[in-house]
Amino acid sequence: MARQIGSELKGVIAAAPTPVTANLEPDIPRFLTLCRWLLDNGCDALNVCGTTGEATSFTLKQRMAIMSAAAGALPLQRLMTGTGAASVGDAVALTGHAAALGFAGALLLPPFYYKGVSDDGVLGYFERIVAATEDEPIDLFLYNFPQLSGVPYTPHLVERLSAAFGERIAGLKDSSGDLHYAAEIAAISPRLSVFPSTEAVLLQARAGEFTGCISGSANVTSTYCARAFNDGDAAALDRACAIRALVSRSPLIPSVKAVLAARLGDPELERVLPPLSPLAESDKRQLLRDVVATEAA
Amino acid sequence: MARQIGSELKGVIAAAPTPVTANLEPDIPRFLTLCRWLLDNGCDALNVCGTTGEATSFTLKQRMAIMSAAAGALPLQRLMTGTGAASVGDAVALTGHAAALGFAGALLLPPFYYKGVSDDGVLGYFERIVAATEDEPIDLFLYNFPQLSGVPYTPHLVERLSAAFGERIAGLKDSSGDLHYAAEIAAISPRLSVFPSTEAVLLQARAGEFTGCISGSANVTSTYCARAFNDGDAAALDRACAIRALVSRSPLIPSVKAVLAARLGDPELERVLPPLSPLAESDKRQLLRDVVATEAA
């Protein structure tokens, strides 16, 4: 089902968070340490600069710096990066940078400020991105997250994008939570790699129904996810889903950062950028206790 | 009701569109011509780089270039500029640029990618913006447009922002269309200038209930708006509202651009940036016929 023979964008993919300094700059050394740790602990691949990575809260320059740092230090065949933006010029620049650096794929939000836009408008955004990366193509993955972007990649729009740009449209990550939709997209073409955002699909992915999952909670469930995807271990998957439920109880991104901070023994990892805010201390302590109890059960 | 004696951000304020070149760059000469024409045709002031100006579809660099060009050529005491962004760093840079150039106000969308964020998260965004412009303060206006931003400035949040940042929070533009909400914000403090987004409130504004309107359709209704606000001409206001209804029938921004292109005899003004798309030719012709008929009635 995976699009390219040898593609490493499959299986368990964590949407990595971006550590930030007290000045709200990306904390590059911590980011690289965290990415290496994730790749060594069950993740087949990573998506950096996505929603969990707070990419849209960083400037273009900061996003490019994060991507450049990843390219200089991590195995790029295992890395996808978010390059979507409200501004078509930013999306073109970010996708071009990802292509030039050699990332295995670019994950594209639609332009997300205006709502109720026409399919032609989204096509126009992709036309510019595809044209700008024609000489140095990179696989483009559609990032469907209508709850945040307000602009869905409807099956009809995915068909139009695939027809217009052929192999450049390599797949779709679906964060809508609607598995019926994800299956409908996978049915459009065997060329499309489809990644729901929940590790709950990993046994179906193992059976070939999806290419894998790209998940924010996989940052803290990846070792269980790996046992599910590689060995078909249903009990491990249950444990991953139980931990996912815990980090979804409060806002996901500060929760994931809090658990990672505890696991890596580095409280600096907890910091988030506005408009996100850290967990209340009592919520954080409860979360950490509950995660430990779930792992020990 | 206006916040500062002598403030010119009051009355009829058009949210000016940004003309774009075939390469999707801001068309600065046409932008300046258009702004001058609006200021000469009934607009007390302008908001540039707002939603109608497609600001979030431009890059940071392009937005700064538009602002710099406006500052070099237009009366800044009559100009407010949008400086909000999904990225806190971009919002800081844009607001700092507006302050340094001497704009009369900065209109701030909340960070608009994440949804369901806490008030503390939005406070954190403003803390950075206020701190960065402490030495060269600029009046900050909140831009409430939950249908596009997904993040409302609730009355409670406006109270918290006013309490935290005092006079720096100068007012609010409300594009929600809920006049009850707008009145509730105006009641928080006489220090807050409130601008609904519809010219329909201009007689109420004349009576002191609001400071004025900031409207996308005022680009094509400003002469009628001026008669309503300055002279209390109710028939002129009816005509403005009738034209507003016509340009709201199809997507507002391409409709406003199409009417302005016809009025200024410059088809180049019609062009929009992705993800917006131009009106279908038949819709455009019908719109132009209907506007002419409404003006002649």
- Taken in order B255, B198, B101, A56, the sign of the CA dihedral is negative
Q: Is A88 close to B118, i.e. CB distance below 8 A?
A: no
- Position A97 in a domain: yes
- Position B44 in a domain: yes
In this complex, is the C-beta atom of A66 within 8 Å of any C-beta atom belonging to chain B?
no
Q: How close A182 gets to chain B, by Cα (Å)? A: 22
In this complex, is the C-beta atom of B21 within 8 Å of any C-beta atom belonging to chain A?
no
Nearest 5°: the CA angle A262, A266, A272 is: 90
Looking at residue A20, its pLDDT comes to 98
In tens, the pLDDT along B28-37 reads: 999 999 999 9
- Position A278 in a domain: no
Separation CA B139–CA B103 (nearest Å): 9
Query: What's the number of domains chain A is made of?
Result: 1
- Position B263 in a domain: no
Query: Which chain A residues are within 8 Å of B124, Cβ to Cβ?
Result: 274-275, 277
Residue (of A54, A55, A65) closest to A29 by Cα position: A65
Separation CA A218–CA A241 (nearest Å): 10
Residue (of A269, A181, A178) closest to A219 by Cα position: A269
Q: How many CB pairs under 8 A join A and B?
A: 128
Separation CA B53–CA A121 (nearest Å): 16
pTM: 0.97
A216 — phi, psi (to 5°)? -70, -35
Separation CA B142–CA B123 (nearest Å): 12
Q: How close B153 gets to chain A, by Cα (Å)? A: 13
Residue (of B208, B127, B205) closest to B168 by Cα position: B127
Contact B13, B213 (CB under 8 A): yes
Length, in residues, of chain A: 297
Largest Cα–Cα distance in chain A? 53
Chain B interface disruption, residue of A18, A61, A64, A113, most B CBs within 10 A? A113
Strand extents, DSSP E, chain B = 11-15, 45-48, 79-82, 105-108, 140-144, 169-174, 193-196, 212-215
- Position A27 in a domain: yes
Looking at residue A4, its pLDDT comes to 39
CATH classification at residue B171? 3.20.20.70
Chain B interface disruption, residue of A23, A66, A114, A157, most B CBs within 10 A? A114
User: What is the value of ipTM here, to two decimals?
Assistant: 0.96
Q: Of B62, B112, B274, which has the smallest distance from its Cβ to A125's Cβ?
A: B274
Q: Which residue of A has its CA nearest to B52?
A: A114
Query: Which chain A residues are within 8 Å of B120, Cβ to Cβ?
Result: 277
In tens, the pLDDT along A242-267 reads: 999 999 999 999 999 999 999 999 99
- Position B242 in a domain: no
- Position B142 in a domain: yes
Q: How close B227 gets to chain A, by Cα (Å)? A: 32
A67 CB-near residues (< 8 Å, 6+ apart): A48, A49, A81, A94, A97, A98, A101, A103
Tokens at A226, concatenated? 């790996």
Looking at residue B95, its pLDDT comes to 98
- Counting as low any pLDDT under 70, the low residues of chain B are 1-7
Tokens 């009701």 found at? B1
Separation CA B110–CA B142 (nearest Å): 8
Looking at residue A7, its pLDDT comes to 58
Domain that holds residue A29: 11-233
Separation CA A121–CA B57 (nearest Å): 12
Separation CA B186–CA B209 (nearest Å): 8
Query: Which chain B residues are within 8 Å of A127, Cβ to Cβ?
Result: 274
Looking at residue B7, its pLDDT comes to 59
- Position B246 in a domain: no
Strands A11-15 and A212-215: parallel
Query: Which chain A residues are within 8 Å of B273, Cβ to Cβ?
Result: 88
Query: Which chain A residues are within 8 Å of B24, Cβ to Cβ?
Result: 88-89, 128
- Counting as low any pLDDT under 50, the low residues of chain A are 1-6
Query: Which chain B residues are within 8 Å of A92, Cβ to Cβ?
Result: none
Q: Which residue of B has its CA nearest to A85?
A: B57
